[in-house]
Structures are given as structure tokens and as C-alpha cells.
Structure 1
Amino acid sequence: MTSSPRKLRSAEWFGTVDKNGFMYRSWMKNQGIPDHEFQGKPIIGICNTWSELTPCNAHFRELAERVRRGVFEAGGYPVEFPVFSNGESNLRPTAMFTRNLASMDVEEAIRGNPIDAVVLMVGCDKTTPALLMGAASCDVPAIAVSGGPMLNGKHQGRNIGSGTAVWQLSEQVKAGTISIHEFMSAEAGMSRSAGTCNTMGTASTMACMAEALGVTLPHNAAIPAVDARRSVLAHLSGMRIVEMALQGLTLSKLLTREAFENAIRVNAAIGGSTNAVIHLKAIAGRIGVELALEDWTRVGRGTPTIVDLQPSGRFLMEEFHDAGGLPAVLRRLGEAGLLPHPDALTANGRTLWQNVQDAPLWNDEVIRPLDKPLVADGGICILRGNLAPRGAVLKPSAASAHLLQHRGRAVVFENLEDYKARIADPALEVDADSVLVLKNCGPQGYPGMAEVGNMGLPPKLLAQGVTDMVRLSDARMSGTAYGTVVLHVAPEARAGGPLAVVQSGDWIALDCAGGRLHLEVSDEELQARLAVWAETRQAIPADGSGYRKLYVEHVLQADEGCDFDFLVGCRGAEVPRHSH
């Protein structure tokens, strides 16, 4: 390939016959790159989140090599570069704390380097939104390649789901139904191959969101990490990104309002994570698409959950792939007229419907018919009221139906440390109808908005056979978790939201169908409490310095996607040319 139908961005570095062109090419040639590689070929960045500290992405060295082969085959030249890898399982205080940091790394790496298009190597929960946010801010041609889920976990001859099994078994230990030795014996078999969580946790959810948004090739979401077809998809993605670079198929042509509405509908159908609400909002904000919590009600509510996967259902990602994966779900939705925008463009140049209209569907138990759903209305429930003026969320497919309309007395924990200190106290005044309330775990309060919203139940109630309670907080919940859990209460307690002044013994009413979350105190009483809180609250510890200070001072609330205020918007890929 010696010429292209459009001017390549990399030509600004490598395409001039002068001092600058000389130096840019010369420095690159110390890697043994021949001169013809700079002659009009698209330079394709491979943005890699490989890290041994991010177990879900630890196989990305090999997967990136498959992408490289595809880029070479299509006539491009691949250049791999690392970015911050924020793995969910090891990183403290929470990977969400560094999602925006990773997106800044990605944005500046793309903008500042001589690349015409980029392949985003994504996997563990926050790497998918972080890389899409950073690339969207530059609006270059980009395609995402997910690492794929792990094989099914195994324990005592049965399948167990990563993450979900931890929550289930740990509650059983507290209830006294299994021993600590049985609990620990599950550890070796839960994560038995490379890949992300094999449940419909946040990693699988965001892989599905990326495919529904059209920024991946079909079947990207569900192929297991160790399946040879994952390598094939990476190879084909490398080939396709070269074509996208030459065509100028940028992210703004894919990440449209219509694409986000498709993703919202798909999230309901798959029983996706509540974290998708925050991440899709943040991605939309970077590309300039207006997305509000009400869109989740308008588009998502009324959609049946038809994917029978843990934590909402029974199966795991391996079965989901074997049943047909996301294309089968999209076909089922489309045939029923439930795909909002079937003509939305995708990364392979075809519409979403063209990609899936003939998709096979092999298992009606895993991907259920619409008239036999796992949950009749699986759309994320958006709640508002005097307790959450700017909104809160609940995942109906992971909740207990009998608790979706509930009234109970609050049992309040001021912070996570207070919860840990008191939840197991036999004297704790709590019963099955109580509402557990956790404060100061939001974006500013933790900081980073940790996944602690699915508070473990009091052991004394577990021993009585109680398996679920209404729980409420300004925190998030792992996508692998389950229960009737109200999350993302905004404004958060630290920001002076009404959550800050809830007291133990207050009555709280939850009405999921009506979208209402109400603290049963008068407006006058609520305002009086807030006034006292503002005057007498304990001094908030200084935010210190460094990234923590930057985060707390600039993070937006949950309803706005928890991005930094100064990062919202698309800044494009133009960068001032430096003359040496």
C-alpha cells in the first residue's frame, strides 16, 4: 500500500522531507523498521492494558500479537503502547478511583503520538470505559477488542461464577450453613483460566455494551478468553482498523445518540451491571452525546431480561457464547421490534441489524424467548424522591420481587468502618424489614465510590434464613453481586445530599415501579436537619495532595457519570506541531 484516499494523521510526523521528518523517522528506525513502512501506510496504535497486576488482562501480550498480525496483513503498521491498567481485583481503594486517570493517559497518548487509528485492548471492568472515554475525547478511528471471559468456575462438581460465588459462599459461612474450609476450597476452582469474570458482571456487561454500541466486531463480548476464536477476532479487528483508518470512520460516527439507546435496551435484556449507567454516561459525555438518567427509564424499562446468567440467573458466559452470544440477543430483540435503532452504524461498516439478522440462536434456556423471560421488566430502575433528588438506581433482575415495593425503618451506618464495626453485633436493632443505609461511600466520600453497596446482611438474620434486605447507599455494587440494593444515591452524603441526614429509625419507602425513593419526614424537618448538618458536621479531613486531591475536587456526581468536570467534551486529535 503506497497511497491512501485520505491524508493520514501520521504523515504530519513521518511524511515530510525536512529536519523534523528526518528525526521522527530516524528515531523510530532504531527498532529496525525499514523505510517503506513510513511511506503512506496507516500507523495503527495498539493501546494495551496488559498487566500482571490486572489478572483479567494478563493474557493481552499474546492477544495484542494477534492484532498486530491483522494490521500487517491489511497493509498497516502496528505500534503497541501501554496505558494505565486499573484492575478491579487488586487495586485499592477501588479501580473506579483511577478510571478517569486511565482515560487521561489514553487520551494524551493517542493525541500526542503519530497514529492514525487505535485498537483498544480492554477487559477488566474499568479498562473498557476508560479506553473508550480517552479515545472518544480524541475522536479517532478506533475499535475495541475485549479479552473475553474466563472458563466456567468449578467447585464440588458444579459450575460457580466468579465474584458471585464469593458473595454467596461468604454469606453461607456467616449463616453457619458451610464451614470456612468449604469456603476456602472454592478458591482454586473459581478462576481457572485467563479472562474476565465469567458472570454478567461489569466486565462482561461493558463488553456487551461495547458490542451494542458498535465499536467492536460482532461476537466480541462473549467468546471465552482461551477460545481460539478470540484470537481470530483480534486478528480480524487488526485488519478492520486499517480500513477504518483509511475510511476516516471515527468514533463520533459510531457513538451516536442512537447507539447509546441501543446499549441501554441491551443492558436490560442481558441483566447488565448498574455500573453501566455511570460508564455509558461518561463515554457519552466525552463524545458530546446528551444522556440522562431518564433515558434509562424511557428506553430500558419494560424490556424483559432474557439472558439467564449469574448473578441474575443460572448460567455463565461460556454457555452464553455457546448459545449465540450477543448477536443472538440482538436478533431476538430486533425481530420483536425492541431494538431502538437497528440501522445504527458499527465498526465493520455494516448496520447493527445487518450484523445480526441471521445470527444463530442455539439455546432457549440461556437466551430465553421474549414470552418466557427471566424477569419481565429488567430495565435499570431509576429512583427519585426527597432522598435522591438527582437520582438513584436499582437492578430489578438481581433483586427480590417482594422487596421492589417496600417500607421499612432505617438502620444507619455513617461510613464503611461503622458498618464493619456494627453489622455483626448481636445487639444491632435490625429485622428483616429494616432498610440498611450506608453513607459517605460516594465519589467524593470514599473517595472513588467503592463497590460496597451490596452490604452483607447481619449474621443474626442470615442465621434466621433471611437472604435479602433492602440496602441503600451512595456507593456502587459489583456487577457480579445481587440483591435489592439501591445505589448511586445523588447527591452523595459528603456533598450534602439528604442521605447525609438520614437517622436510624426513619421510615424509608421504596417503589421501584413508580420510580420513587422517599424518606418519610416532612420537608421542614429535612431542611432543618440539613441546616444543622451544614453547621455542625465534623470537619472533613483535608484531601491531601496529588491525584486524590484532584479527584475529590473535580469528580462529578453519579448521575453525571463520575467523570472529571474538566474532561467532559470532545477535544479532538489535533495537537500543535513542535518544530525541533
Structure 2
Amino acid sequence: MQEEKKLRSQDWFGKTGKDGFIYRAWMKNQGFPHHEFMGKPVIGICNTWSELTPCNAHFRELAECIKRGVWEAGGFPVEFPVMSLGETLMKPTAMLYRNLASMDVEESIRGNPIDGVVLMCGCDKTTPSLVMGAASVDLPSIVISGGPMLAGHFKGRKIGTSDVWRFAEAYKVGEMSQEEFIAAEGCMARSAGHCAVMGTASTMASMVESLGLTLPDNASIPAADSRRKTMAHMTGRRIVEMVREDLTMSKVLTRKAFENAIMVNAAIGGSTNFVIHLMAIAGRIGVELDLQDFDRLSENIPFIANIQPSGEHFFEDLYYAGGLPAVMKELSNSLNLDALTVTGQMLGENIVLSNAHNREIIASVDNPFKPNTGLAVLKGNLAVNGAVLKPSAASPHLMTHTGRAVVFEDIDDYKARIDDPDLDIDETCVMVLKYVGPKGYPGMPEVGNMVLPKKLLEKGIHDMVRISDGRMSGTGFGTVVLHVSPEAAIGGTLALVQNGDLITLDVPNRSLHLHVSDEELAERKKHWQPLELGYERGYTNLYLNHVQQSHQGADMDFLVGKSGTWKLRESH
């Protein structure tokens, strides 16, 4: 008979003498009886609740549901806070702090008497930061997402975050008043939860479910639906069982799991931010993953989840139509069905009874909504290490395009000139934005889907080829080339592009080419001066000195690889 593994928490609560007295006595001031410390699995509930993170503002109540499940299964729940990253409010960008939050998670888990962890994820960066931090420690861990908000209603139709971009264009050309803008604000975010479309938050919720880190159906249950609370309760029960089974993250996060996540992301038209976050998680857990894997694995996966911005409907509709398990069931011939999940079962066992209930929402592979793959990885002299584009959200007529570059040297230059009537630009041009990459901004903000010039919007033009070393919101759309690597701030070719240069985007051949000779580029490089970044202290200085490029996941170089739960020195 296999000997039961000693609980890590007993190195604190199981001690005799002075040390045990101190560890237990102060916990008892919360009303816990002595028997709770005697060999029960201690479950850390890692909570990203914050009123500054509106998507996660319902997490206090959700945490109580998790605790009920933990108690029921014979565990001892302890809730702890970590840095919360609110996408809608945090400046300059929440992405700057993703790695910092992951460090908070990692050290909070490692330094405390925890045997297993429930990761409460919701708003965009809270999911990858919590998973990255927990992966570095490698205890039994399970994710519960906060769920999408309900779709909004405005002037007789449903709206979601993707409509913000449409409203912005309409406002810019005078088709929508400020009063209508304010009215739409109150109509859109009408319940708790993250963005109602397939933005980055929904993509992240889908990512962790397809990785096998959640119970089935976790991704798409609406935040306001009582079944989200039930999911939290069952997640609390399951983590206690996982501790007893010693089902650690590294047993779930295998190469097969990452391959599944890439294929599912292609099928749902997930956010381009998926690439950076999945790469960072792979780096933490020690799975080899390359940018080309995203293109290769999603190449033959069609778009079958009809959710905005690539499609027409909302994330809650996906749940009603069968949820992510039904999507994965449609992909059964492509996925690694033998990948282990936190249920203790293989992926194939989790989805065997799932079915699509609405073919307007979940199509079959044989009859998809779009044949286009979810992500295309582009390379060429303008992106030696790669760049990404989402074909399902792009314009077909621009997928092969050559145009004259209109260059914005940084985001301030773009804001100052984009609506200048004298700007030399038309719809055939290629908009180029520099210095918005990991180091250049810093933090790589979501500004890559540049709003078009007012004079072109007034002509009825709503898409152009746009290129930058930054990111865009997963709720955005258009023929937008992102994550150009190496970035301009470290002297990548993007930094050398000049007004009037010809650029060819060739998505079918996965090419991004600047029509400037190597000799001319070498000459331009001689005159290039790096930016004065100006951050001399604190976390931002640490970030700038250690952040990796986007094709590597934009993690800090010293955080790559898991380090486990080494034994800490006693402090008493």
C-alpha cells in the first residue's frame, strides 16, 4: 500500500514546542479549533478581489463558495490576497505588472503553510500571473475563473466590449454624441464579470480549461449565473482530493496540454495575447514551446465558435450552446485526448458526454464559420523573431497587401498627428507604430489596433494594415500585426522604418517584409539612438533590465523555470 505523503502544512502546524505554539496560536485568534490543525490539507485560496479590478469585484462571494467545498471535503481553507491587475484602470498597462503579480503569488504560496491552491482568476492579466506564479512552486493547484458579464443592451441590440471600438469610430466622425456615449456606458457592463466577448479574459478562461487546470465548463458560465457559485464549491472540493492524490501542476501542464490549448484557441478565435501568456507559463513549468508551434498546431483548425470579435455572439452564448467542452468535442480528432486534467481524468473522458446544442454558436469542423486559423505567425526582415496576426478578425482583402509606410515614432506622435487633415495617408498605406513593445513603453500596452484617421473613417474606411511591437485588446479587430520582435526599443528593424518605405504583408506565406536593402538598413542603424527610458528605481527598473522579448513570453529572465517549495529557515 502506498504510504500517504506528509502534508507540507504540517511543517508548521504539526510542530511541537515553541514553534508549533506560535504557528497555531495566532491562527486561533480567528476562532479555529485545535483539531483543524491536525493533519487536514490546508488549501490556500488565492484571491484577486479588488474594487479597482471591476471584473473581479464579485470574488469575495465566490471565495466563500470555494471555502464551503473545501470544508465539505475535509480541508482547511485559508484565503489570502495577491496583487490584483485591473485592465480597465491600471496605467500605463496592466501587462507591466503581470510578472510582479506572479512573483507575489509564487512567494505567497511558497512562504506559507499551504498544501494546495485555488487560483481565483478573472480580469485579463490575473489569470496568467496566478498560473505563472503557482507553476513556479508546483503544488496541487486548480483554477476557478470569475466568468463573463452578461451581454449589454443598448438601443434594442446586444452590446459588449468590442462595441467600444465601433462607438469610438462613430464618436470620432460625429455619428454618436457624448450623451449617447454615456448612455452606452451604463448599458454595457450590467453585471459582475469580465468582458462579455472573446477578449483576453475570456481567452484566458478558455486557455486554463483547455490546459486541464479547471473543472469542465469553467470558462464560459456567466459570473451572474448561480452555476458559477456551484462551480466554485466543486472546485473547493476537488482541490482537497488533488492534494491527497499529489496531483501537482507539472503533471497536468505537459507538452500535450499546451498543444491542446493552442488548437482550442485557434477554434475560438482567441486573443493574440494568448501567445505571450502561454509562452510565459510554458517557460515557468519547463515545457519547450516555440512561436512556430502556434502556427503549426493551429494551421488546420477552423474557426468554429461564433463569438465576437471574430464572430457575432457573446461568451455567455457559448455556455448555453454547450460550452468549451462541446468545442473540444468537435476538435476530438485533433486534440490530445489522453492529456491528464485536474479532474484526475483524461481530457477525452471529461468531454465524452458533451455536445453542441446550437449550431449558430458552435459549428462542426466540417462546416465551420470561417476556414481561417486563429493565429498566424509572420516572419521576415521586419520581424526576424516573429510577429502575430489574427486572421479570423482581419479583412480578407488585406491578407496580401503592399503599401507605403506611414510611421508614428511613438504613441504620443500617433495621438498628435493621426487626425491632422494634412497627414499624407490613404487606405492603401500601412500604419506603423514604434516603441510600444515590452521595453519601449514600457510594458507593451494594448495600442496596436490604432484607430484610423478621421478623414478615412469619414470615407467609410474601417480597416487598414497596422503594424507595431505592441499588443491589442482581445476585444479588438482588424488587420493588425502585433508583437513585432525584436522590438524598436532594442534596435529591431521596426526602429529603422521610415515614411514612404514599402511593406508587404503576405499572410498566406507568413511573411512580413520591408522593401529596404540590407545595406540601407545597416546605414540607418548607424544613426539609430536608443530611447532614454528614464526609470532609475523600483520595479519598473527591474522589469526593464530583465524582461524578455515578446516571442519569449515577456517574462523576466530570472523567473523562467520552476523552483519548487524549498525548505525555508525557521524564523523563531
TM-score in terms of structure 1 length: 0.97
Q: 2: CA distance between counterparts of 1:158 and 1:4?
A: 60
Contact 1:176 1:463 in 2 (8 A): no
Unaligned 5+ runs, structure 1: none
The aligned amino acid for 1:151 is L
**In structure 1, what is the equivalent of residue 435 of structure 2?**
440
**In structure 1, what is the equivalent of residue 549 of structure 2?**
557
**In structure 2, what is the equivalent of residue 332 of structure 1?**
330
The aligned amino acid for 2:238 is R
Q: Deviations over 1:149-192 (max 9, x none)?
A: 00011101110012x11101111222333333333321111100
The aligned amino acid for 2:445 is A
User: Mapping of 1:333-482 within 5 angstroms?
Assistant: 333-334=331-332, 337-339=333-335, 341-482=336-477
User: Mapping of 1:57-456 within 5 angstroms?
Assistant: 57-162=56-161, 164-334=162-332, 337-339=333-335, 341-456=336-451
**In structure 2, what is the equivalent of residue 25 of structure 1?**
24
SS at 1:481 equivalent: coil
**In structure 1, what is the equivalent of residue 34 of structure 2?**
35
More moved, 507-516 vs 10-19: 10-19
The aligned amino acid for 1:561 is G
The aligned amino acid for 1:352 is L
Q: Deviations over 1:338-387 (max 9, x none)?
A: 21x11100001011111111103110001112233222022310000000
SS at 2:328 equivalent: helix
Contact 2:193 2:222 in 1 (8 A): yes
Runs of 4+ in 1 over 6 A off after TM superposition: none
The aligned amino acid for 2:146 is G
Q: 2: CA distance between counterparts of 1:408 and 1:177?
A: 29
Q: 2: CA distance between counterparts of 1:187 and 1:396?
A: 29
Contact 1:219 1:325 in 2 (8 A): yes
The aligned amino acid for 1:60 is F
Q: Shift of the alpha carbon at 1:4?
A: 8.7
The aligned amino acid for 2:549 is Q
Q: 2: CA distance between counterparts of 1:315 and 1:237?
A: 28
Contact 1:296 1:379 in 2 (8 A): no
Q: 2: CA distance between counterparts of 1:19 and 1:127?
A: 38
Q: 2: CA distance between counterparts of 1:397 and 1:214?
A: 25
SS at 2:370 equivalent: coil
More moved, 153-162 vs 173-182: 173-182
**In structure 2, what is the equivalent of residue 547 of structure 1?**
539
Q: Shift of the alpha carbon at 1:579?
A: 4.8
Q: 1: CA distance between counterparts of 2:373 and 2:115?
A: 40
Number of equivalent positions:
571
Q: Deviations over 1:113-142 (max 9, x none)?
A: 001000000000000000000000000000
Contact 2:9 2:41 in 1 (8 A): yes
Query: Over the residues paired in the alignment, what is the CA RMSD in angstroms?
Result: 1.2
More moved, 441-450 vs 369-378: 369-378
Q: 1: CA distance between counterparts of 2:131 and 2:567?
A: 20
SS at 2:489 equivalent: coil
Contact 2:491 2:530 in 1 (8 A): no
The aligned amino acid for 1:231 is K
SS at 1:529 equivalent: helix
Q: Shift of the alpha carbon at 1:243?
A: 0.4
SS at 1:513 equivalent: coil
The aligned amino acid for 2:203 is T
User: Mapping of 1:34-53 within 5 angstroms?
Assistant: 34-53=33-52
Contact 1:4 1:40 in 2 (8 A): no
Q: Shift of the alpha carbon at 1:539?
A: 5.4
Please point out which of 494, 502, 508 is paired with 2:497.
502
Unaligned 5+ runs, structure 2: none
Aligned residues with identical type, % of pairs: 61
TM-score in terms of structure 2 length: 0.98
Q: Shift of the alpha carbon at 1:538?
A: 6.3
SS at 2:557 equivalent: coil
SS at 1:487 equivalent: strand
Q: Shift of the alpha carbon at 1:297?
A: 1.3
Judged with a 3 Å threshold, the aligned counterparts in structure 2 of structure 1 residues 171 and 4 are, in CA distance, closer, same or farther, namely: farther
Contact 2:440 2:533 in 1 (8 A): no
Q: Shift of the alpha carbon at 1:531?
A: 2.0
Contact 1:310 1:480 in 2 (8 A): yes
Contact 1:111 1:575 in 2 (8 A): no
More moved, 383-392 vs 370-379: 370-379
The aligned amino acid for 2:115 is D
SS at 1:262 equivalent: helix
Q: 2: CA distance between counterparts of 1:123 and 1:189?
A: 21
Q: 2: CA distance between counterparts of 1:549 and 1:100?
A: 13
Q: Shift of the alpha carbon at 1:528?
A: 1.4
Q: 2: CA distance between counterparts of 1:266 and 1:481?
A: 19
Contact 2:270 2:374 in 1 (8 A): no
Q: Deviations over 1:25-73 (max 9, x none)?
A: 1121111111100111000000000000000000000000000000000
Q: 1: CA distance between counterparts of 2:535 and 2:299?
A: 39
Q: Deviations over 1:75-131 (max 9, x none)?
A: 000000000001101111100010000000000000000010000000000000000
Judged with a 3 Å threshold, the aligned counterparts in structure 2 of structure 1 residues 204 and 539 are, in CA distance, closer, same or farther, namely: closer
More moved, 131-140 vs 169-178: 169-178
Q: 2: CA distance between counterparts of 1:569 and 1:191?
A: 38
Q: 2: CA distance between counterparts of 1:544 and 1:253?
A: 41
Q: 2: CA distance between counterparts of 1:539 and 1:296?
A: 31
Q: 1: CA distance between counterparts of 2:140 and 2:107?
A: 15
Q: 1: CA distance between counterparts of 2:48 and 2:122?
A: 8
Contact 1:302 1:379 in 2 (8 A): no
